[in-house]
Chains A and B, each alone.
Chain A
Amino acid sequence: MRPALSALLLGLLTGPLTAAPPLTFERDIRPIFKAHCLECHGETKELKGELDLRLRRFLVSGGDSGAAIVPGDPAASALLKRVSTGEMPPGKESRKLTPAQLDLIRRWIATGAVTAGPEPKTLARGFQFTDGDRSYWAFQPIRRATPPTVKTLAEIRNPLDQFTQARLETIGHTLGGPAAKSTLLRRATFDLLGLPPTPIQRTRFLADTTPGAWERLIDRLLASPHYGERWGRHWLDAAGYADSEGVASVDPQRKWAWQYRDWVVNSHNDDLGWNRFLLAQLAGDEMVKPPYKDLSPGDLQLLTATGYLRTAPDGTVGSNDAANRNQVVAETINIVSTSILGLTVGCAQCHNHRYDPIPQVDYYRLRAIFEPALNVARWKRPGGRLVSLYTDADRKEAARIEKEAKVIDGERGRKQATYIQQTFDKEVAKLAAAQRELARLARKTDAKKRTPAQKDLLKKHPSLNVSAGSLYLYDQKAANDLKAISKRASDLRATKPQETFVRVLAEQSGPVPVTRVFFRGDITQPRQPVDPSGLSILGVTTREPVTLAQNNKQIGSTGRRLTWARRLTGGTHPLVARVIVNRSWMHHFGRGLVATPGDIGSLGLRPTHPQLLDWLADEFMRTGWSLKRLHRLVMTSATYRQSASAPGPLLVTDPDNDLLGRMSIRRLDAESLRDAILAVSGSLNPRRYGPPVPIMADRVGQWVIGKENLNAGRPGAVVDMSNEQYRRSVWIEVRRSRPLGVLDTFDRPAMVPNCTERVSTTVSSQSLMMMNSDFVVSQSTRFAERLKAEAGPKTIDRIHHAWQLVYGSEPTAAEIGEATAFLDEQTALFNGPVPKADDKKKKLARSRDQALSVFCQALFSSSRFLYVD
């Protein structure tokens, strides 16, 4: 981070550097103590050495060993000595104070150990919120700020722009002008659909020169079913969606997880209000009357939505022990808190949060909301969480077929017994005549009752131990016959009505579990019981209730999640709307107004435009929590429509674009890149929904798209995918242990357990993939075929068409010249020395085709394709 940026974010200065402000206890020193010392010195029941470090005056009065500090005299301050020598805090090296922290404390003492204001007269023992905690921005109620007045109105298109313009004006700049129409088209299309604009979309938009053309474009894009595939994927990151349990190398599949994925995509396309979207995911089950049978479509959706609380990696599919169960609960809390609350509540699992005002007990109060459904005492393993969508009629039909199949099973059993007996008889016949009767008798006799002679005989002739499992080793024909009968039974069973399922989180009937604080997070040391509640700091800052009723007699469950979810989505919660608005902003601009969307707590970064964030959050809630309206609001602003270029001085003053004086350039994310290549080459299969397109290991152990066809554990013949391999990336299996090469290389995250912010890297493995991979090379060839078919034989037409498809623009004369020269150069390289006259023409044609493929690949590999500006 550049120093200028960090200074801005800390809010220390907005203009030229001024003299450093004096060090104060509240701002500079207490956070160090909170992170390193207060666990033993003030925030928990025990007070080591009777020394409380929560207030400056406690430091002066000191504990058992006398005063901790002597203001103005670092050398005489016992505390400084203890921490400098590393005596305190005890334990791991990583917990010790850094030289910079020691220096801060030293200078603070030397400058008189001042406080920012008067300290409270009284302070109860244990965890207490400080003034800093109470005034932290993210915990304050959302207040709609009046858009600031600005000096220049030229670029202002909606109130959002007033916020950005006002900030820019403080440093003598203004919003930049709009980008070219074709740039805007490409930006908006990738933004909302994750795909490049098609030539038809382009023609339509460019031809529309009447006012409102841009708004109409955005409406068209928002109406596209591809919108849900793009924005649904964003939420699936935050929710930690995966098609596998994510444990061990086996990583078992979650066969029905896709129902939740489809629901997320659909909900985005339907623009389900974000409040209802969250409500369904957190408590859909509590809104459906059990038993979950013959479900209405609405009820089915509510149950499917609870798949959100079933995304955590789940070790109980293997070892169903207490540790694994508790791990699932902990990961689920992590997912909920980072995706919805934007806080790392999970850090308070073992001790009070070291940075945010979240006492350990709050963590367990939050856990109490989920524990009746994630009940570690009466755990449901993955298989037990499925709700069948079978109707009673389906069940009846299935039973009828099963009865018939059982008859075939019986036939098989009788035949098997006969075959085994026959085989045994043959083996007996190989023995000396005298031994045969003994062998038969031994076989009939229970193993424990055999005589020594019988045992000895069987041991000497192990081949006498023929069994159902080993029959095939003796008599392949018999084994084949049995196999055929089995097949008849399984074929018949296959005609049963297909039973489908949804993965559901729901409370079980029976006693409601008591949630207890685990001492130091250790599940073997449960301590005091706690009641369900939201974060207690919010009760202080919003004056809204945070505690929840233990039980709701009206419905068939405790109602804890439902009540909590209603509070989250009731319009007064300070975190929920800020977090989703911020995350949407990140997807539009490449970075959130708070650059750490999974942590808006004190370890995260501060918002660059706090008032804008609040204004947007308020507007979002007022307009029905509609994500599509939010997109329209943001994208019709002048801020969004800016060009990516900016005047030189602004680039120098604001190199990271914190002040939004231009559009940031963004690299395509993994899915967009793959999908865009497929779209441009003409390969994209637009089929949506349903079971995921599978991932398999190829013969060298690389993860590729394909149906696993193992033969004795090794890859067998390749199964035809009938264009399934060309579906959009969101429909491809997310098997946590099987990252697909092309997505993985471009930073598709691993879901462990979820991802609130993707990284975008620039590494040479990506270059190697663009240069040499089978995927890119073969798609380039398909793209070349498309150009030939659609643009005809003339090079210039092909170049024009290629530019439209790849960049969404027309080539300049210079670009045409360069492209033509490149195609000629490549054609000559492929053509080689002049061939014999008769096949000269044929070879030249082939060389031109090859050159066209390489040209297509070059366009795919170019920054202009890989980035959006």
Chain B
Amino acid sequence: MQQSITGEHDRRHFLTTGSLGLGSLATAWLLDQDRAQAAPIRPELVKTHYDTLPKPPVSPPRANAMISLWMQGGPSHIDLFDPKPEMAKWHMKPFPGKVKYDNAAQASSKVLHSPWKFRPRGDCGTEISQLLPHTADIVDDICLIRSMRTGVNNHGQSILALQTGRILKGRPSLGSWLSYGLGTETDNLPSFLALIDPGQLPVEGVANWSNGWLPAIYQGTVIRPREPRILNLQPPAQLAGKVQRSFLDYVGRLNTRHLAQRATEHDLAARIASYRLAERMQMSAHAALDISGESKATQEMYGIHDKATADYGTRCLIARRLVERGVRFIQVYTQNQFWDHHGGIKKSLPRACRKVDKPSAALVRDLKQRGLLDSTVVHWGGEMGRLPVIQNEKNIGRDHNTHGFSMWVAGGGFARGLAYGQTDDFGHKSVENVVNHYDYHATLMYLFGIDANTLTYTRNTREKTILDGQPGRIVRELLDV
């Protein structure tokens, strides 16, 4: 499939993100590729040219693509991944330690034992909550980290820590770093795509897929949650089909006559070709995003036919199709504060789980059955977990907790069926084998064959890395050996 796609188009004309949201990226990226061919060769005084051509990693990579299933808001780890039987004894009693609240007015010091049951699953026996039955079914393929920590209790800062390495705005996100370091395997699609939710953008918005100070060609490109998934890629309804065909024929005739009087003008010939290619792109890019050709079994596995899972399932399935076509990094978002269960957690947490559980598990299974899981990292998680105590006794919820939370990764060289690290008896703080965001980044980069300390970008005469001086540790225990 990939060969036929890359083979059929001229490199100069492929799907562009100028027509996607966030125009700059796409165009910059596209132009850059054009310029790479057109620019006269001149001595390079300062590196001013950047491209997305594939680049070899410094060491043999385990992974060459990544899909990040981003659970914005902070899923409650103690209700989903990190069972705390000790808490049963303290249920509705004052918490015996110190807690940092985000909302003091609604805060209560009473412990809330998880109302949901856990049991050992798969051959590995890792305990998973009843709220995630499908994830429980793939537990032997995933690597669960129960000792995450960013240590900053706000959504924005913790998101930035996990996405960009630091809590301050303005730095490149992980996908930008990987695109910068490794380029892309496809000429038909950008290397870094963000599949946003039909609801509102996640907290921090475009900073989640920002190139920061890296060149704009490494910026993530937004794929809209519904058709048209790429702006300007499809004609408005009243122009679609025969109307546009006839329109393009007429424009072609006008332009051909114009060219005939200026036969040696290469640019005019290229302009005519660009319309023809744009028309073909409308079909090929559309094809990458069109899941209608997927088998019924596949669609069902992703939950496409169920209203609760249709949206997230479709986006997970599109993510797989993009990986197949050589896209380097894909984010699949939940909407703004989808997991931020300050109140009403008893209803809203199960609802959130229903949306993503089946599609997420299907993605891992599907990649595995197609032989892609070995080279593709799937990440599932948000920027924080929740506190062991109640917030708002009238409408029970849980407040933020970034000192200890869980997330899982699968494929691309991560261990299978592993549960790593521990929080304290209340799941408040990571206490054993702590994985900080920078450890996670160092480990990921390692799997992509990159040393997070030496993939640098020079800015204001300083060499910048994703770790930015933080002591990122490659957590070898997380790796599949």
On A, residues with C-beta under 8 Å from B are 1, 35, 94, 247-250, 315, 318, 323-324, 327, 344, 347, 354-355, 459-463, 465-466, 470, 473-474, 521-523, 603, 644-645, 651, 655, 665, 667, 697, 699-703, 713-714, 739-741, 744-745, 747, 750, 759-769, 771-774, 777, 818, 822, 825-826, 829-830, 850, 854, 857-859, 861-864, 866-867, 869
Contacts and interface: CB of A to CB of B under 8 A. Distances in A.
Contacts of B279: 771
B246 A829 contact: yes
Q: A94, A249, A465, A651: which has the most chain B beta carbons within 10 Å?
A: A249
Contact of B16 (A250, A323, A764, A771): A764
Contacts of A866: 271
Given A344-B45, A829-B246, A771 B235 contact: yes
Given A35-B43, A764-B277, A826-B246, A665 B265 contact: yes
Contacts of A747: 31
Pick the 9 closest A-B CB pairs, nearest first. A248-B170, A765-B18, A765-B16, A473-B105, A767-B278, A462-B107, A741-B23, A702-B21, A764-B278
Contact of B251 (A344, A461, A741, A858): A858
6 contacts: A248-B212, A318-B170, A713-B203, A764-B16, A764-B277, A774-B236
B208 to A, nearest CB: 10
Given A459-B109, A714-B336, 19 more contacts: A250-B169, A462-B109, A463-B106, A473-B106, A645-B262, A697-B205, A713-B205, A759-B35, A762-B271, A763-B30, A764-B14, A765-B232, A768-B282, A771-B279, A772-B19, A772-B233, A826-B243, A826-B246, A857-B247
User: Which of A470, A645, A744 is most buried by chain B, counting CB atoms within 10 A of its CB?
Assistant: A744
Contacts of B239: 772, 777, 854
A768 B18 CA distance: 9
B50 interface: no
Contacts of B265: 665
Nearest to A470: B105
A697 B209 CA distance: 15
A247 B22 CA distance: 18
Nearest to A467: B104
B258 interface: yes
Contact of A94 (B27, B30, B44): B44
Contacts of B272: 863
B369 interface: no
B196 interface: yes
Nearest to A318: B170
Contacts of B23: 702-703, 739-741, 744-745
Nearest to A459: B109
B16 A763 contact: yes
B250 A768 contact: no
Contacts of B233: 768, 772
Contact of A769 (B19, B30, B46): B19
B26 interface: yes
Contact of B170 (A250, A470, A859): A250
A463 B235 CA distance: 56
Contact of A665 (B203, B213, B231, B268): B268
A459 B16 CA distance: 56
Given A249-B169, A323-B460, A474 B105 contact: yes
A340 B94 CA distance: 72
A768 B19 contact: yes
Contacts of B455: none
Contacts of A859: 254
B242 interface: yes
Interface in B292-342: 336
Interface in B423-481: 460-462
Nearest to B110: A460
B91 to A, nearest CB: 17
B15 to A, nearest CB: 8
A474 B264 CA distance: 76
Indicate the member of B28, B101, B250, B262 with the most A CB atoms within 10 Å: B250
Contacts of A766: 18, 274
A697 B204 CA distance: 13
B274 A463 contact: no
Interface residues of B, number: 89
A771 B248 contact: yes
Contact of A863 (B207, B224, B234, B255): B255
Nearest to A772: B232
A850 B277 contact: no
A740 B254 CA distance: 29
Contacts of B3: none
A65 B26 CA distance: 54
A866 B261 CA distance: 16
Nearest to A427: B105
B13 interface: yes
Nearest to B253: A818
Given A249-B207, A768-B278, A761 B31 contact: yes
B222 interface: yes
B130 interface: no
Contacts of B242: 829
A363 to B, nearest CB: 14
A321 to B, nearest CB: 10
B52 interface: no
B205 A771 contact: no
A829 B240 CA distance: 11
B270 interface: yes
A763 B13 contact: yes
A355 B43 CA distance: 10
A739 B17 CA distance: 13
Residue among B24, B101, B105, B236 with max Cβ neighbours from chain A (10 Å): B105
A818 B251 CA distance: 11
B203 A862 contact: no
A697 B206 contact: yes
Nearest to A651: B264
Contacts of A470: 104-105
A701 B331 CA distance: 15
B134 interface: no
B349 interface: no
B365 interface: no
B275 interface: yes
B206 A249 contact: yes
Given A697-B205, A700-B21, A1 B274 contact: no
Contacts of A759: 31, 35
A665 B267 contact: yes
B154 interface: no
Contacts of A858: 247, 250-251, 254
Given A323-B462, A462-B101, A767 B274 contact: yes
A248 B45 CA distance: 25
A739 B211 CA distance: 14
Contact of B206 (A248, A603, A701, A825): A701
B274 A763 contact: yes
B27 A745 contact: yes
B45 A771 contact: no
B18 A462 contact: no
B153 interface: no
Given A463-B104, A713-B203, A825 B246 contact: yes
Interface in B27-79: 27-28, 30-31, 34-35, 40, 42-46
